[in-house]
Amino acid sequence: MRPIDTILFFLFFLYSAQSLIGVATADDFESTIRPLLQKHCVECHGADDQNGDLRLDAKPLAMKGGYDGPAIVAGQPDQSPLYQRITSTGDDR
């Protein structure tokens, strides 16, 4: 697993775990998750481009998902398509 994959996995797991116990806030997304998504995902999934109709530049949009449905399953990171893509070893990210 590449270093960025490990970081994204940890942050996604942390965020999902917080959602499960009800302590995740908009501040958690803004301070922890959003900067990484900005750096690695928003070029293709942001306000200008929305590959797969998926936007990852704001929490409500990330939770909504895209053409294939929700990208994040709160409290179940292993069931979340975004997590599965991040941890994939294939080229279909």
Tokens linked to 87? 């941890």
Tens-digit pLDDT profile for residues 13-42? 666 655 544 445 566 677 877 788 888 888
pTM for this prediction: 0.62
Q: For the residues 51-62, what does the mean pLDDT come to?
A: 88
Cα–Cα nearest to 12, from 58, 73, 90, 89: 73
Percent of the chain with pLDDT over 90: 16
Radius of gyration of the chain (CA): 12
- pLDDT at residue 61, rounded to an integer: 87
* pLDDT 10s digits, 60-69: 888 889 999 9
Structure tokens at 59: 């929490």
